[in-house]
Amino acid sequence: MQTRKIRRLPILLFHRAFWDRVVRFEVLAEEGLIDRADLDLIRFVETAEEGAEAIRASHGGALPGAEEEPPP
């Protein structure tokens, strides 16, 4: 993201109540410490299922690698 060498991926942060207490992302953007456009990448989730759904949504509905055969 920072170097723009990889495609934009969601940043999953579990337990929003915690993150809201310890990091003020808007302030970081205002101070130029993170790019304001990157705020759109942050997804707050509470469960693994919500995390998987956020990843699916960013990949057009499928989990990356899901089409591959699982190892024996």
Per-residue confidence band for 67, with pLDDT thresholds at 50, 70 and 90: low
Q: Rounded to an integer, what is the distance from CA 3 to the centroid of its chain?
A: 17
- Of the chain, the end-to-end C-alpha distance in Å amounts to 35
Measured distance CA(71)–CA(66) in Å, rounded: 12
Is a pLDDT exceeding 90 seen at residue 44? yes
Measured distance CA(31)–CA(33) in Å, rounded: 6
Is a pLDDT exceeding 90 seen at residue 2? no
CB 56 within 8 A of CB 62: yes
Q: For the chain, which residues make up each domain, given as ranges?
A: 11-58
